[in-house]
Structure formats: C-alpha cells, structure tokens
Structure 1
Amino acid sequence: MNESIQLKIENKVAYITLNRPEVFNSFNREMALSLQSILDDCETNEEVRAIVLTGNGKAFCAGQDLKEVTDPDLNPGFKKILEEHYNPIITRIRSIKKPIIAAVNGVAAGAGANIVLACDIVVAHEKVSFIQAFSLIGLVPDSAGTFFLPRLIGFQKAQALAMLGDKIGAEEADKMGMIYKCVALDEFDDTINKLALKLANMPTKALGFIKELFNQSMTNTLDEQLALESKLQIEAANSEDYREGVAAFIEKRKPEFKGR
C-alpha cells in the first residue's frame, strides 16, 4: 500500500489517514490515486460499514502540493489534477453507500477543505481552521466547494469566504452550519470513535439510501423527491435490518443490525 495513505479496519470501521505530514498532507498525484483506490476497496468490502477520513500530524489537508504543479518534470497540469485527482475523489465520497466521517484533526485548506465538505458528517476539534485559500494565489475553488459551501452556509457567506480567503475556526464553522460539530481537543478522538462505532452498527442499507436521497435533493423537484423517497422506503422496508429493527422494538431489546 502507498505510504501516503494509511488504512486500518477495526470494528467494522475503515480509518483512512492522509499521511504526508511533512507537507501538511497536501495532495500529489500518487496520494490522490491511492485515496481513490482505497475508497473503492472500502465500498466493496462487506466488513466495512463506516469510514473515517482524517490526517496525520498537524493538518488534515492543505490542498494541492504546489511543489508538484511548479516542478516542470512532475506537473500533471490542472486539467489532469481536477479530472483525474479531485473530481473522482469527490464523486466517490458522495456515491459510496456507507457513511463517511471527516475527522478534521488540523487545518483544512483549499481542496482539503472542500473534501471535508463533501463528507457525510464533519467533526473538528476546537483548534482547527478552514480556509478557502484559492483566491489567495489567484485560483478559484474546486473540488465542489462552490457546490457544497453555499448549500451549507448560504450564498452570500459562501461567496465572501471564497473571495476573501478568510480563516474560519471550527467553533464558528459549527455555528454557521458548515460542519456537524466542534468538540474540545481532548475529547476529539473519543468522539470520533464513538460516532464511527455507532454508524457501523446502524442499518447500513438505510444510511446509504439516506445519502442517496440527500444527494438527489440537490437537484430534484418536490415531486421527483417524493417519488424517490417512496421508491427507497419500499426497498428499505424489504431489508433484513428493517425486520430486525421492528422485531427489536416489539421485543424491547437492542437491535443487532447486519447491514443487509
């Protein structure tokens, strides 16, 4: 396995760690392709029922490794970087029918910040900051930042952050609805592990359907969304986990979901 990404599977949770701490986990081609491959493996691995994405060291991810794009021998060009690196990562995160937690352990900037926003549940500790750093070097947001950010925090606020490149602390990000939760630094690891274990033991198929519904709600009309809710609710009602959930409720016991 590529050393730039670490993978540990434990208690039905896949812990994926960006591992280039010497450059604040910034992406080069090797790391981007490795992450895509690992996400693919997690999608098909039936032992994995929840995914945690985090970083090693002081940063979650500083975005693109600028040394790669300024080295004439290494530079793949922005077309390839976007079409082969970041865009496939974002589409994988949104299409995998398993919950993905972004455990933001340090600064998330540029593409790193927008990869966070694409995840299903985002938890950051109180020392973390988020930066739409693109405009500061003459670029525009990519990695679906212009798609998710205005939907999370509103058009005006999102456009201002994209233009100004302001640094936003985790507590402020929590208050404005950018992330699910900001927690104390000393509670961060425990919070992530408890949340991941909870999701890994929930009805995975239903969680995947919920994810699909929220994806489609971005563009569906009301009638289209109602039709999709009906379709997926019928499918969910035919699952083993639904039958187990109802039986456990009637029998007044804790359900044992299998993800089927």
Structure 2
Amino acid sequence: MAVVRVEYTEDGFAIITMQNGENRLNQIYVNEMTQILDDIERNKDVKAVITTGEGKFFSNGLDLEWMKSNTEDVVNAFRYGLHALQWRLVHFPLPTVALLNGHAFAGGAFIAIAHDYRVMNSKRGWISWNEILVNLQLNQASLELLRQKISRMDALREAVLFAKRITATRAVELGIVDAAVEPQNLLKEAKRIALQALGPNGIDSSMLQTMKKDLFQQPNIDKVNAKL
C-alpha cells in the first residue's frame, strides 16, 4: 500500500495524506511524494496544496529502523533526496498548508515548516525538533531551513535547542504555526488560509515560485554535511 496518497477536490485543492502509522520518512516516502508533487504541478485545476497525516501523527520523523537496515550509500541518497524534497515544498508554485492532525517531530516538523502555512490540532499533538534528545546533529540544509522559516529566537530556543514539546496554542504564540483549531475545523481553516493567500484575483504560479526562491535561499545540497 502507498505510504502517501493525494485527493483532488472539486473546489481546487490537492490534499496529500501520509498514511503509514507514525508516517516516518524513508525512501519510499520521498519517491511517492516526489511523484505526487509532479502530478499536482501537471494538474492545472489545482490552486493550493494541503498536506496532512492519519491518526495520532502528522509525522514522527525519520524512519530510523529503515535507515539502520540499509547501506551508507542508500541512506546518504535518501538524505539528499529528503532535503531536495523539503526545499521543493518551500519553493512550490502554489500556496501550501501543513494540516497538523497530530504530533510533528524532527523530520516531520521539517516537512511542516517547509509549507507556507501551518494549521495545528488544538486538542492533540506537539511540534518539536527533538534531535538533540537523541544526539543527532542537524546538517547545514536543515539549519538553513530553520533559520529562514523561524524568525523568533524564543521559538528556536524552545522548539529546537531545548526540544520542548510545543502545543498548538504555544506554537501560535511563538509564530511556528498560524492557527490552533478544533479537529473538526482543521480542513476548513486550511482551505480558508490558502484561499486568503491567493486573494480575490489569484497569483501567477510561476511568479509565486520565483518569489519564494528569492525569499528563501536554498543551500547547495551537494555540499551538505550528511550528519543528521
């Protein structure tokens, strides 16, 4: 079964759903997400993208068991591909909203922060970059993503440096997410935010992508330190 699926709605949204338990990130996830993003870009009826998960987790981060079971070359290729995917989301030519149905930890939090907006379940879930708790060092591409997407020092201090489990309400206060919403209203709010971003007259997708690339400078992934 696919670990990620996409649904195209009649009102012009592509809704991407991670559907693999804890929704951990591995090469299968990267491959399927890449194909889905390709499909979305070809679909001219789509005006915005919403990414979410099923169950308790938005994403619980890297699939460490999968990484341990593969060779160094395979794991390094996966890391390269994951960083490329994250920056593709940052620069995607449509408005993107991460709908945090549940916990977003480490790599899952990076997927969330790569989106333009984040809407978080007010009743369940934390967001945290908890690499420090398992003695994993962030590489340059990951650090650049955090620095460019999270502007407040107290947010970086709490959510990354000391790996606090940030609730939805606190995440809004820190500027990490844009809204804390009751579970039954998450999709409605995600759509509202995306439509508000587009405005009444819409935005040219190629110009939107150009503006994103100008604002959020991607590091040279070929030179990224492979440590995570």
Q: TM-score range by the shorter chain?
A: 0.7 to 0.9
TM-score normalised by the chain length of structure 2: 0.82
SS of residue matched to 1:35: helix
Identify which range, 171-180 or 161-170, moves more after superposition. 161-170
After superposition, the C-alpha distances for 1:52-76 in whole angstroms (9 at most, x for unaligned) are 1110111101111111012257983
Work out the percentage of aligned pairs sharing the same amino acid. Answer: 21
Does the Cα contact within 8 Å between 1:59 and 1:108 map onto a contact in 2?
yes
Structure number with greater Rg is 1
Residue 76 of structure 1 aligns to a residue whose secondary structure is helix
Deviation per residue, 1:174-212 (Å, 9 max, x gap):
011111111123322332344456667854434653553
Residue of structure 2 in register with 1:186 after alignment:
184
- TM-score normalised by the chain length of structure 1: 0.72
Task: Determine the structure 1 residue equivalent to 2:127.
Answer: 130
- Structure with greater helix percent: 1
Superposed counterparts of 1:91-240, under 5 Å? 91-126=87-122, 127-141=124-138, 144-151=141-148, 152-155=150-153, 157-159=155-157, 161-196=159-194, 202-206=200-204, 209-210=207-208, 212-218=210-216
The CA distance in 1 between the partners of 2:4 and 2:203, in whole Å, is: 27
8 A Cα contact 1:117 1:145, kept in partner: no
In the alignment, structure 1 residue 30 sits paired with structure 2 residue 31: no
1:13·1:50 contact (CA, 8 Å) conserved in 2? Answer: yes
Look up the SS of the partner of 2:74 in the other structure. coil
Counterparts in 2 of 1:32-51, with a 5 A limit? 32-51=30-49
> How much is the aligned-residue C-alpha RMSD, in angstroms?
2.7
For residue 216 of structure 1, report the CA deviation from its aligned partner: 1.6
The structure-2 alpha-carbon separation of the partners of 1:17 and 1:201, relative to structure 1 and needing over 3 Å to count, comes to farther
Work out the CA distance in 2 between the residues paired with 1:181 and 1:187.
11
Residue type at the aligned position of 1:147: E
C-alpha spacing 1:55/1:202, structure 2 compared with 1 (3 Å): farther
